[in-house]
Structure 1
Amino acid sequence: MDSRRDFLQKLAASAVTLPFLPITASAARNAFYGQSCQGPVLRVAIMGLGSYGTRVAKAMQSCKRAKLTGLISGTPSKIKDWQAKYNIPEKNCYNYENYDQIKDNPDIDAVYVITPNALHREGVLRVAAAGKHAICEKPMSVNARQGQEMVDACRKAGVKLLVGYRMHFEPNTLEIVRMRNEGEFGKVLFFQGLSGFRIGDPKQWRLNRELAGGGAMMDIGIYSVNGARYMTGEEPEWVTAQETKTDPVKFREGVDETIQFQMGFPSGAVASCLSTYNMNNLDRFFLNGEKGYAELQPATGYGPIKGRTNKGELTHPHIAHQTIQMDEMAGIILENKKPVIPVNGEEAVKDLVIIDAIYEACRTGKRQALSL
């Protein structure tokens, strides 16, 4: 068994000496993963083996173009469990002190950073310094300034920075974007985004300002911020916002409970959105145009996403969002594919600029001008 494993590892290593491989080398490389597919496979290490990292790893088992090949965690027991489950060799496992050593590991092309928000910046900067592509969970950082630092570092290192906007690849969402682009709704007039749920354990990191960078807006409200942009196809020119807090014990200073926010777009379209950690059953997008409408409900959950337009129900079958996301990101990284809706770091900085402005609007009570 050991000799067979060694042979396969050597076979895989010999197949990755060039960034763009001929078909014969790709076939050898894919054989290492027990997967038959066209083109090279993106080899990914996951940093942060928590609940969402677990979801991503499970979904990646169905990927054709991306495979889990490395682990980064501060919890040795998690690494052992994941090694056994996903057949990850010891040499591809790291902790938060030594993962800079991935620079010398040809089994890893990219690292998916799935740590608390405030740790994203350091993770991406170190991954870039190691010469590996970075995939970062959203929000990309806790403010736009840090986000831009991450974009600049990856550009300087010559690596790609992508962000985990899984909805940008979701089929029903993309069908609405297609219909809008082709003018089927006419002039867009209005968008509504409702994003919220009642959060549980008050001791979790999402309610810790130092780790989360805020509250509901950073976790769930960002879906409506981002959704307003890709559903209307425009960048907002201004934002206003109002914060409501009913439980200051659970939602301490700097941790937002509920924020209502409004945005205006160059065409005259407006958006009205809600972000909350204190109400359930809020996962809905609605787009209204002069000729028709589109609705998604649920709009951003793990699926299945359900939707309809003035022309009828949306019927695309459900596939795990993270499976589609990681296969599509493999194409972006390895073949420079261009997604319909961007998922790069620059896209994420725009969301952070808007979120910064939403917090400032809450603080001052004044409309904030935007230039994206």
Structure 2
Amino acid sequence: MRWGVVGVGKITRNRFLPALEQVEGAILTAIVTTHPENVKDLAEKYNAKIYEKVEDLENVDVVYIATPNSMHKDQVISCAKKKIHILCEKPIALNSKEAMEMIRACEENGVVLGVANMGRFNPYNVGAKRLLEEGIVGRIGIIKASYSFVNVERDKWRYDLSLSGGGAIMDIGVHVINTLHFWRPNNKIVEIAGINEYFGYEVEQNAGAVARFDDGVIVLMDASYDTSLSVSFEIKGDKGILYVLDTLYQEYDGKVILKRENNFTLFNFYGENQYVLEIKDMEDAIRNKRSPRTDGYEALKDMTVIDAWYQSSKEKRLVRI
């Protein structure tokens, strides 16, 4: 398929484009950027045409949008009107209202909308999902979920509220929420109480929340721009505890460990590069007219929880979803 990229940051250069090269039949034909002088090397390497606006795109079947969050809605809707399929970076939008507008625009124009949550293709997350479906920990009661790293790029767009819409929650907390929805597709979070700390920045540095699923499972989750690199899930059931670690990094990684009493079992899972699988899933969804692994409605579920998290912290109260 003919791909275009909208926005050429580190993710596009270091993850998406190398993965695209590994997908048979996938070619880059278009690059959209407001800084064409910075992508001449890519245009030459891939024989791709440079555009400054998505409205001018031609000869493209599907685009990967990796621009600041505030730009997602208008760019997705513009592409949808041109009948171009879309793989949009997470978070899908600034809020659930925008997400719904984007979903409707894609449905009205008959295009597939996917959202880039590469964690759903990490083999350790996929393996953990299978183990949980098999009931390896029994009846789940409590889940602890965390993602953190020290963000040193505090002069970049993620620290500009008008562009990012938020800090650690919007950037990495969305991965935590999306993974929980991946593992528990038949349940939804129905209430949340959050506390966010800004330390003088426009966007939250540290954020924590207690949430409840509709079946009574309690979730303790946090996202941080200010503490050491870590991804961890602890799923506690009446027959054991499953630890899922380091599965949301851009590099392929992961650990899955089962604890029962004082006995520990380490599981190994193997698979293809998660970015390659993400692209393959999107192309297959387009060809077979199905929803991709994370479609607009899955992303809308994530945004609904994020909206409630921010609201709870701002109003200092429990918010029902």
Q: What is the SS of the residue equivalent to 2:228?
A: coil
Partner of 2:52 in structure 1? 95
Q: What is the SS of the residue equivalent to 2:147?
A: strand
Q: What is the SS of the residue equivalent to 1:189?
A: strand
Q: What is the SS of the residue equivalent to 2:87?
A: strand
Larger radius of gyration: 1
**1:53 aligned to which of 9, 12, 15:** 12
Alignment partners' CA distance in 2, 1:225 and 1:156: 28
Partner of 1:327 in structure 2? 280
Partner of 1:359 in structure 2? 310
1:316/1:94 Cα in 2 relative to 1: closer, same or farther (>3 Å)? Answer: same
The one-character-per-residue Cα deviations of 1:153-185 (angstroms, maximum 9, x if unpaired) are 111111111100111122111111112223233
1:346/1:65 Cα in 2 relative to 1: closer, same or farther (>3 Å)? Answer: farther
1:122/1:202 Cα in 2 relative to 1: closer, same or farther (>3 Å)? Answer: same
**1:70 aligned to which of 30, 50, 55:** 30
Partner of 2:269 in structure 1? 316
Deviation, 1:109, is: 0.7
Deviation, 1:240, is: 0.7
Alignment partners' CA distance in 1, 2:255 and 2:121: 15
Of residues 73-82 and 313-322 in structure 1, the stretch that sits farther from structure 2 once superposed is 313-322
Alignment partners' CA distance in 1, 2:143 and 2:30: 41
Verify the 8 A CA contact 1:64 1:327 in the aligned structure 2.
Answer: no
TM-score, normalization by structure 2: 0.92
Verify the 8 A CA contact 2:117 2:175 in the aligned structure 1.
Answer: no
Verify the 8 A CA contact 2:150 2:229 in the aligned structure 1.
Answer: no
Deviation, 1:318, is: 5.5
The one-character-per-residue Cα deviations of 1:238-293 (angstroms, maximum 9, x if unpaired) are 11111223x31xx13xx111110111012221110111111112211221222233
Structural mapping, 1:99-114, within 5 Å = 99-102=54-57, 105=58, 107-114=59-66
Partner of 2:216 in structure 1? 268
Partner of 1:84 in structure 2? 44
Deviation, 1:359, is: 0.5
The one-character-per-residue Cα deviations of 1:118-151 (angstroms, maximum 9, x if unpaired) are 0000110100011111110000001111111000
Q: What is the SS of the residue equivalent to 1:302?
A: coil
Of residues 169-178 and 223-232 in structure 1, the stretch that sits farther from structure 2 once superposed is 223-232
Verify the 8 A CA contact 1:184 1:291 in the aligned structure 2.
Answer: yes
Count of paired positions: 314
Partner of 1:285 in structure 2? 233
1:325/1:162 Cα in 2 relative to 1: closer, same or farther (>3 Å)? Answer: same
Alignment partners' CA distance in 2, 1:119 and 1:176: 34
Alignment partners' CA distance in 2, 1:223 and 1:112: 18
Letter in 1 for 2:220: S
Verify the 8 A CA contact 2:124 2:247 in the aligned structure 1.
Answer: no
Answering whether residue 296 of structure 2 is matched by residue 345 of structure 1, we say yes
Alignment partners' CA distance in 2, 1:150 and 1:156: 10
Alignment partners' CA distance in 2, 1:278 and 1:220: 12
Deviation, 1:101, is: 3.1
Alignment partners' CA distance in 2, 1:316 and 1:183: 18
Letter in 2 for 1:64: E
Alignment partners' CA distance in 1, 2:245 and 2:114: 26
> What percent identity do the matched residue pairs reach?
25
Q: Specify which structure has the higher proportion of strand.
A: 2
Deviation, 1:65, is: 5.5
Q: What is the SS of the residue equivalent to 1:281?
A: strand
**1:183 aligned to which of 132, 135, 139:** 135
Deviation, 1:338, is: 5.7
Letter in 1 for 2:56: Q
Partner of 1:165 in structure 2? 117
1:338/1:145 Cα in 2 relative to 1: closer, same or farther (>3 Å)? Answer: closer
Letter in 2 for 1:368: V
Partner of 1:140 in structure 2? 92
Q: What is the SS of the residue equivalent to 2:221?
A: strand
TM-score, normalization by structure 1: 0.80
Verify the 8 A CA contact 2:6 2:64 in the aligned structure 1.
Answer: yes
Partner of 1:14 in structure 2? none
1:333/1:231 Cα in 2 relative to 1: closer, same or farther (>3 Å)? Answer: same
Give runs of ≥4 in structure 1 deviating > 6 Å: none
Letter in 2 for 1:258: N
Alignment partners' CA distance in 2, 1:328 and 1:66: 12
Supply the RMSD in Å over aligned alpha carbons: 1.7
Deviation, 1:228, is: 2.3
Deviation, 1:218, is: 0.6
Verify the 8 A CA contact 1:285 1:299 in the aligned structure 2.
Answer: no
